[in-house]
Structure 1
Amino acid sequence: MSGPVTGPAAPRIGVVGAGIVGLAVARRLAQLRPDARITVVDKEADVAVHQTGRNSGVVHAGLYYPPGSLKARLCTRGRALLREFCAEHGLVHDECGKLVVARHAGELPALAEIERRATANGVPGLRRLPGNALREVEPEAAGVAALHSPHTAIVDFRAVARAIAGELRSQGHEVRLGFEVTGVRREPGGGVVLRSGEADLAVDRLVVCAGLQADRVSRLAGDAAGPAIVPFRGEYLRLVPERRWLVRGLIYPVPDPRYPFLGVHFTRRVDGGVDIGPNAVLALAREGYRWRDVRLGELARTLTWPGTRPLVRRHWRTGLAEVHGSVSRRAFVAAARAFVPALTDGDVERAPAGVRAQAVDRDGTLVDDFRIHRLGSVVTVRNAPSPAATSALAIGEYVADRVLAGDAD
């Protein structure tokens, strides 16, 4: 990556979004320009309230992503940076390992494709296991074959975000909470003014990492209408404490290649808990963590986005199946039991849900790779789904270089 940028004027740089990606961008900017005045703004009262604080906690090793894609490159770089960061800050980084399990012979070709991608992406320690051997890793798991990624890890991403925010504050930068961006004015000389209520914040350069609000804030800053964020709620169940022994680490299905979602899986948490999920159901609000969380204006904007109709037309059967799993705990558990047959309905309880900010193009395509735009003094992160948390410190490098050097996308 490029070294520090020098110049006569200390830039004022604003970052919208205090999730882990926005904070990582700010951290890298502070490293490259120690003289800069960096202000991270967020509408919430704490950092990492939404996607960062509600994700699975998995540090992905890079199994799934097309070699050469931004996801593949930044995940590989990001996982190494994150491991170093956790070691430096005394944060838990537990390499509990992951199995991707093929339930039947029909899934073996897709498993082989994942193995090909993972090998090309340099996933360390990867092993192909037959059905009897996979139970040496996960005794309660069932399948005909699996890929074992022993160095896939888990962390507390909210703790990582708070540590980055603490670093920034200790260096004299500002993490300004309770600042909801309601307007953005581009100045003729290249500067940008952010408006929140009656308060203004003037900066020379701006980065938008607004997660669930990414398209809204990006449009305010002059970016294109698309892709639009379509929010998908991911619901979880959790193993009751006395049944946590059923799962040692992480157990994943072979994902459906038509979707950027990985399917219902078992995830061990750093506190010892084990979550099952997530599914993927259309959320009725950008921050709609429950069925009763409805914002009619936001729902109307989702439904009227040109890409929503072709999206629904192509995938309505899958959507109905996801809704069934959402309203029926028995159906949800049955899907998970395909991988851990000993699981029963009584082994689980409800756990907090998350919402994924999924970018959808005008033609209804679910955007898979990271998508980052540059418009003069403004850089917008328009799509940063999983593995964005794993990749965050590498995304910070990638975005900061473009902010400071003006590299073309």
Structure 2
Amino acid sequence: MARYVVVGGGIVGLATAHRLLLDRPGSSVTVLEKEVSVGVHQTGHNSGVIHAGVYYKPGSLKARLCKSGAAAMVEFCSDHGIPTDICGKLIVATSTDEIPRLDALFERSVANGLPVTMLSPEEAREFEPHVSCVRAMRVASTGITDFGAVCRALAELIVKEGGEVRLGTRVTGIARSGSGVVVETTGGEVPADVLVNCAGLHSDRIARMAGLRPPARIIPFRGEYYELRPERVGLVNGLIYPVPDPQFPFLGVHLTKMIDGTVHAGPNAVLALAREGYTWARVRPADVASAAGYGGLWKLARKHWRYGMGEVRRSLSRRLFAASLARLVPEIGTGDIVRAGAGVRAQAIARDGSLVDDFLIVDAPGQVHVLNAPSPAATSSLAIAREIVGRIPVPA
């Protein structure tokens, strides 16, 4: 009987464990999760968007797995009674100098086979009556759901199908044992023929424990959210995004209707002072030292320091945050938004200072390591799981 150990109980780890049980019946599949529940970190703090795959280079893993993963996710949610809403998204140019970038995004979307339509300002306001733009692109297949509920459903299916989800079990070491490994944990040793690393914010550390030299390091970026006050949620029907600036690594703050009917605004992107640093007050010296000692981060900072300082200012000023949103919906003022928590993005940065743009999955004998899986990983998770399992030879 083949023994598989998956490190990480987020949506990618759980989807992979479930896929192993489906594709390789009779195998032993164990998920190790250091928290006391599943989907606590990146999965549990994201915006719940089922992305269409607009932004990603044609032929990339993100482009391919996002499109197939979105379809699989909608089907999974339907099968398991998890609410979804395919509400569509507007990406809006708020000034004429953004139109060429929007046109380029339209061409990329078409190349990725997505249902997109260019709209005039009047046509855009048929979908979002309060939006301000000079042109917009509608992405009809974008939706929203509850990825935390997806995680809980996957965990139940894993157990039902004979697998195991060990909560409160932190990995402390990984030792070679013949052709496999022994995973050392706070709950004892777990032998494995195949190790699958889906540890998100700690994926590079797990890879080093397993004897690899990862080609990139995880640097945590906190994305802070506001939400519209209940009496102002009528300003947004679905999702409203700005045109991203390719000079900068993140999408910019946007407006997202959540599956519970609230409207979230954000996120910004500031360097977190801990890998699980959801507030400025959460500081972990070892994480700060790890980031500060990495040359790739300094190279990135030299290139984008002005952008980074702007994000910090916006983090500290509700007025600036509201002003960013008012570019999309002018009726939003400072008094219309309230703090709504934050998430931390596990962003892999290469040694040359570039952000790893695609999903990064590294194979080694008896091991698969997911070393970069930020957005749209939740959307793509079921397809990522197929990709991972397809890379794993059946143990002898």
Of the three residues 215, 222, 225, the one matched with 1:236 is 225
Please give the alpha-carbon distance, in whole angstroms, between the structure 2 residues aligned to 1:192 and 1:214: 17
Please give the alpha-carbon distance, in whole angstroms, between the structure 1 residues aligned to 2:8 and 2:82: 23
Please give the alpha-carbon distance, in whole angstroms, between the structure 1 residues aligned to 2:339 and 2:88: 24
Residue 226 of structure 1 deviates from its aligned partner by: 3.0
Of the three residues 208, 212, 215, the one matched with 2:201 is 212
Alpha-carbon spacing, 1:255–1:405, altered in 2? closer, same or farther (3 Å): farther
Please give the alpha-carbon distance, in whole angstroms, between the structure 1 residues aligned to 2:77 and 2:175: 38
Could you tell me which residue of structure 1 aligns to residue 159 of structure 2?
Answer: 169
Could you tell me which residue of structure 2 aligns to residue 76 of structure 1?
Answer: 67
Letter in 2 for 1:110: R
- TM-score, with structure 1 as normaliser: 0.95
The answer to whether residue 284 in structure 2 is matched with residue 282 in structure 1 is no
Contact 1:233–1:289 (8 Å) recurs in 2 = yes
Please give the alpha-carbon distance, in whole angstroms, between the structure 2 residues aligned to 1:160 and 1:260: 28
The answer to whether residue 58 in structure 2 is matched with residue 64 in structure 1 is no
Query: Once the two structures are superposed, what CA deviation does each residue of 1:83-112 show, in whole Å capped at 9, x if it has no partner?
Result: 110110011110111000001111111101
Please give the alpha-carbon distance, in whole angstroms, between the structure 1 residues aligned to 2:225 and 2:124: 25
Could you tell me which residue of structure 1 aligns to residue 216 of structure 2?
Answer: 227
- TM-score, with structure 2 as normaliser: 0.98
Query: Once the two structures are superposed, what CA deviation does each residue of 1:92-148 show, in whole Å capped at 9, x if it has no partner?
Result: 110111000001111111101111111111112x11001121111100000100100
Could you tell me which residue of structure 2 aligns to residue 153 of structure 1?
Answer: 143
Of the three residues 327, 336, 342, the one matched with 1:338 is 327
Could you tell me which residue of structure 2 aligns to residue 3 of structure 1?
Answer: none
Query: Once the two structures are superposed, what CA deviation does each residue of 1:322-368 show, in whole Å capped at 9, x if it has no partner?
Result: 00000000001001100000001111110010000000001111111
Contact 1:259–1:366 (8 Å) recurs in 2 = no
Letter in 1 for 2:229: V
Query: Once the two structures are superposed, what CA deviation does each residue of 1:208-257 show, in whole Å capped at 9, x if it has no partner?
Result: 00000011111101121431000000000000111100000000000121
Could you tell me which residue of structure 2 aligns to residue 181 of structure 1?
Answer: 171
Contact 2:203–2:218 (8 Å) recurs in 1 = yes
Q: Which moved more, 1:165-174 or 1:194-203?
A: 194-203
Could you tell me which residue of structure 1 aligns to residue 125 of structure 2?
Answer: 135
Contact 1:15–1:208 (8 Å) recurs in 2 = yes
Contact 2:220–2:344 (8 Å) recurs in 1 = yes
Residue 260 of structure 1 deviates from its aligned partner by: 4.0
Letter in 1 for 2:380: S
The DSSP-based 3-state class of the residue aligned with 1:399 is: helix
The answer to whether residue 116 in structure 2 is matched with residue 122 in structure 1 is no
Of the three residues 298, 314, 326, the one matched with 2:315 is 326
Residue 197 of structure 1 deviates from its aligned partner by: 3.2
Letter in 1 for 2:185: S
Contact 2:169–2:187 (8 Å) recurs in 1 = no
The DSSP-based 3-state class of the residue aligned with 1:404 is: coil
Percent identity reads 53
Q: Which runs of 5+ in 1 are unaligned?
A: 1-9
Could you tell me which residue of structure 2 aligns to residue 42 of structure 1?
Answer: 33
Could you tell me which residue of structure 2 aligns to residue 317 of structure 1?
Answer: 306
Please give the alpha-carbon distance, in whole angstroms, between the structure 2 residues aligned to 1:254 and 1:204: 46
Could you tell me which residue of structure 2 aligns to residue 16 of structure 1?
Answer: 7
Could you tell me which residue of structure 1 aligns to residue 380 of structure 2?
Answer: 391
Query: Once the two structures are superposed, what CA deviation does each residue of 1:258-296 show, in whole Å capped at 9, x if it has no partner?
Result: 344211000000000000000000000000000000001
Residue 308 of structure 1 deviates from its aligned partner by: 1.1
Q: Which runs of 5+ in 2 are unaligned?
A: none
Could you tell me which residue of structure 2 aligns to residue 264 of structure 1?
Answer: 253
Q: Would you identify which runs of 4 or more consecutive aligned residues in structure 1 move more than 3 Å?
A: none
- Give aligned pairs, total: 395
Please give the alpha-carbon distance, in whole angstroms, between the structure 2 residues aligned to 1:201 and 1:319: 42
Letter in 2 for 1:92: P
Contact 2:174–2:184 (8 Å) recurs in 1 = yes
Of the three residues 82, 87, 92, the one matched with 1:91 is 82
Could you tell me which residue of structure 2 aligns to residue 30 of structure 1?
Answer: 21
Letter in 2 for 1:265: H
The DSSP-based 3-state class of the residue aligned with 1:323 is: helix
The DSSP-based 3-state class of the residue aligned with 2:325 is: helix
Please give the alpha-carbon distance, in whole angstroms, between the structure 2 residues aligned to 1:251 and 1:102: 11
Please give the alpha-carbon distance, in whole angstroms, between the structure 1 residues aligned to 2:219 and 2:245: 19
Contact 2:117–2:139 (8 Å) recurs in 1 = yes
Please give the alpha-carbon distance, in whole angstroms, between the structure 2 residues aligned to 1:141 and 1:239: 15
Residue 27 of structure 1 deviates from its aligned partner by: 1.1
